[in-house]
Structures are given as C-alpha cells and as structure tokens.
Amino acid sequence: MNYWLIKSEAEMYSIDDLERDKIISWEEIRNYQARNYMRQMKTGDLLLFYHSMSNPTGVAGIAKVASPIHADQSQFDTASEYFDPKATSDSPIWECVDVQFVEKFAHTVSLESIKADALLDGMLVRARGSRLSVQPVSHAHFEHIVGLGQKKN
C-alpha cells in the first residue's frame, strides 16, 4: 500500500464536492511527473486531499484510489480545454485513476502547521515552489497528518 497527496484548487473541486460525488475520474492532469506517479498507484492506495488556492491551504481529508490507471477521456474531447490533438484512443497520452471519498477532516491541516511540524520534515508539499499536483507521501507522514486532521480542538 502506498500513500499520495493530490492537490485541487478548493474553488474548482473541494473535498465537499468529492463527498457529494463519492467517486470521480481524476482527469485533467497535464504534467508528466504527476501522470507517472498516478501510473504507480494501486487500487486501495490512500490519498491526502489537499486544497490549494484556499484559506487556509492544506490537507482537507482522505480519499482512496478506486480504479487502475486508465485513459483520461478529456484528452479526446474537442470541446474541452484539456483536449490533446496528439492523443488517440490507441495511444493515449494522459491517464488517470478514479478517486473515491473516504473522509473529511474535522479541520484542515494547514500548510503553515505542516511546515511548523518537525515530524513532517521532508514532505514534498513543504518544498518552496512545489507545484507538483500528485506527490508520494511516506506512511509515517500520512498517519501523522491524519492524526492532526482528526484531532478535536
């Protein structure tokens, strides 16, 4: 079992949207490194759901991988801004997994508190200028974030 962090702009698609939808294809990722990490995902892997461009930014809950990697349908959709003319159904360029809601935290674990916590040293999301929207997370970091998010205060 592996652990990951996925980012979403909170105003575009938040943990509340995922709670409502239950499960969606995590489409529209157009970054090779992020795609390559998604290719490594296995059904059942757990995901920290991170809100970017929000107040506060941070981890808002947990999701899980609910399908094997598959073609991102938006690359074939000429009406989509994510349409890719170089992609064909025989050789898709962009891929994604399905993501299923698990839980929303009692409170968001803010980036500020993540940066301040020595137990989270080395988390990629703390890196200055980190723009990667799909990142691996260690088991220890995952468990610690979940503990912080579930804590009542």
Partner DNA sequence: GCCAACGTTGGC
Give the binding site for DNA (CB under 7 A).
Answer: 7, 9, 30-33, 52-53, 57, 111-112, 125, 127-133
DSSP 8-class letter at 118? G
What residue type is assigned to position 132 of the chain? Answer: L
Q: How far is the CB of 82 from DNA (least distance, A)?
A: 10
Q: How far is the CB of 86 from DNA (least distance, A)?
A: 9
Residue closer to DNA (CB basis): 43 or 48: 48
Residue closer to DNA (CB basis): 126 or 144: 126
Those residues with Cβ within 8 angstroms of residue 136's Cβ, 6 or more apart along the chain or in another chain? 2, 3, 4, 5, 37, 40, 124
Sheet holding 23-25, edge to edge: 23-25, 98-110, 58-65, 46-52, 3-9, 134-137
Q: How far is the CB of 101 from DNA (least distance, A)?
A: 20
Residue closer to DNA (CB basis): 32 or 83: 32
